[in-house]
């Protein structure tokens, strides 16, 4: 069975590719025939025709095909090549996948819904007749559906249903989700806004940097050099020269005073004896035997004689503590103890354990329960 399915899938690939090429050729021929449609071309509505007077590039068959499309679906006929290209793309993309009859029926139904909805919209908004034809903008299909819907409901409701038919038909035809389309549009808009913001901020930063560099490179204006022959400058120069002279005299007096003080200090110090180092060596005197051991306690340094006594921590008196509360039973009332016993029994029952609380011994920190389990527990 698997081998037969594999052979069938292998045979389906070239068939879908051939169909895609055929549909693409039909789309090109239909677009050429619709684009070169002329009113004077002989069509199936004419009893006789002259083959030499055909202006359609598709020939007589192209003229007949274009006339038939315009008669049936009106101005929507120009979308037929696009629909054929979409069908060609679908055949080529899904050539390696096996599609059931339900998927194909959904695709065909979507195709019909798209064209019917567009015909109704064209019939309502494009009321001009098509060339030499007697039909309106939506063709025979648009006229029939729009007239029927106008009798049953208002025009606004008919347009809404036609738009919904187009949207649902596109989703069935191409198999995409409009939610993903909305997400994609939002993502693209967000990225564009982020790109524009980054570009604007980058331009602002570059402008500020250029302005700062221009300010730093701008040379400072130098003050004009005053003239030497200006009376004010002569007075300022004379006062400055007098101040500099006084400062030099004061510095000389201070230097002279420091020299005199240094010479007086050198004169007051005794001269250092000159000689060898051995002649000036002083031998240490050991004194009596025992040396430091025979010194009295008064002669020993106080830091050596007196050792620091260790500090004994002083504990607070016991009288500072509060008296113990011997009345433990007064902490919980009998009602509290009964509720605690009932809670304990209930919790043991949650684990399928049956027991009875025999006695309760409340304490300051821990409350003790004596439990009597049921037989077999």
pLDDT tens across the length of the chain (377 residues):
444 454 555 555 677 788 888 888 999 999 999 888 887 777 766 655 555 578 888 888 888 888 888 888 888 889 999 888 887 887 777 666 666 778 778 878 888 899 899 999 988 887 666 655 666 778 888 888 988 988 888 988 989 999 999 988 888 877 777 788 888 899 999 999 999 999 888 888 887 777 776 655 655 555 555 544 444 444 444 455 556 556 655 666 677 777 777 776 666 555 555 544 444 555 555 545 444 445 554 555 555 555 666 677 777 887 787 776 655 555 678 888 888 888 988 888 888 888 888 888 887 778 888 888 888 76
Query: Which residues are within 8 A (CB) of 122 and not within 5 positions of it... i.e. 6 or more apart?
Result: 74, 75, 76, 137, 138, 139, 142
- The pLDDT assigned to 31 comes to 92
265 falls within a domain: no
Is residue 104 helix, strand or coil? Answer: helix
62 falls within a domain: yes
- The pLDDT assigned to 189 comes to 94
167 falls within a domain: yes
Angle at 123 between CA 118 and CA 128, to 5 degrees: 125
187 falls within a domain: no
Token look-up 């050429």 returns 32
Query: Which residues are within 8 A (CB) of 60 and not within 5 positions of it... i.e. 6 or more apart?
Result: 41, 42, 49, 51, 54
- The pLDDT assigned to 267 comes to 64
- The pLDDT assigned to 204 comes to 84
- The pLDDT assigned to 246 comes to 60
289 falls within a domain: no
Domain that holds residue 369: 336-373
Cα dihedral sign for 325, 329, 335, 341?
positive
Listed as own residue / partner, the contacts of 127-133 with beta carbons closer than 8 Å and 24 or more positions apart are: 130/70, 130/74, 130/75, 131/37, 131/39, 131/70, 132/39, 133/67, 133/70, 133/71
221 falls within a domain: no
125 falls within a domain: yes
235 falls within a domain: no
Structure-block tokens of residue 112 = 């019909």
How many domains does the chain divide into? 2
* Final residue of a structural domain among 130, 154, 176: 176
* Final residue of a structural domain among 176, 196, 219: 176
* Final residue of a structural domain among 176, 203, 233: 176
Query: Which residues are within 8 A (CB) of 353 and not within 5 positions of it... i.e. 6 or more apart?
Result: 373, 377
């Amino acid at each position: 069975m698997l081998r037969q399915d594999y052979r069938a899938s292998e045979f389906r690939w070239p068939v879908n590719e051939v169909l895609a090429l055929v549909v693409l050729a039909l789309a090109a021929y239909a677009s050429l025939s619709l684009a070169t449609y002329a009113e004077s071309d002989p069509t199936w509505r004419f009893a006789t025709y002259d083959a030499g007077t055909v202006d359609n590039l598709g020939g007589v068959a192209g003229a007949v095909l274009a006339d038939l499309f315009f008669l049936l679906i009106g101005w929507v006929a120009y979308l037929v090549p696009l629909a054929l290209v979409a069908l060609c793309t679908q055949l080529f993309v899904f050539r390696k996948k096996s599609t059931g009859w339900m998927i194909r029926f959904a695709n065909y139904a979507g195709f019909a819904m798209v064209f019917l909805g567009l015909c109704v919209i064209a019939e309502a908004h494009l009321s001009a007749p098509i060339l030499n034809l007697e039909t309106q903008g939506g063709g025979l299909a648009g006229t029939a559906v729009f007239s029927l819907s106008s009798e049953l409901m208002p025009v606004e409701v008919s347009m809404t249903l036609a738009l919904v038919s187009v949207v649902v038909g596109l989703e069935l035809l191409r198999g995409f989700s409009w939610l993903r389309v909305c997400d994609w549009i939002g993502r693209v808009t967000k990225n564009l806004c982020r790109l524009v913001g980054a570009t604007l901020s980058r331009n602002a930063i570059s402008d500020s940097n250029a302005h700062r560099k221009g300010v730093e490179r701008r040379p400072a204006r130098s003050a004009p050099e005053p003239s030497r022959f200006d009376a004010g400058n002569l007075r300022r120069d004379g006062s400055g020269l007098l101040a500099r002279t006084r400062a030099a005299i004061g510095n000389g007096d201070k230097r002279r005073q420091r020299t005199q003080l240094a010479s007086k200090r050198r004169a007051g110090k005794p001269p250092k004896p000159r000689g060898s180092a051995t002649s000036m060596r002083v031998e240490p005197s050991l004194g009596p035997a025992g040396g430091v051991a025979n010194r009295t306690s008064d002669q020993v340094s106080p830091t050596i004689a007196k050792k620091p006594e260790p500090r004994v921590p002083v504990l607070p008196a016991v009288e500072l503590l509060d008296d113990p509360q011997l009345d433990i039973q007064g902490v919980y009332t009998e009602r509290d103890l009964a509720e605690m016993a009932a809670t304990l029994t209930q919790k043991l029952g949650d684990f399928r354990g049956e027991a009875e609380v025999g006695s309760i011994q409340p304490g300051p920190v821990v409350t003790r329960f004596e439990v009597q389990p049921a037989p077999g527990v």
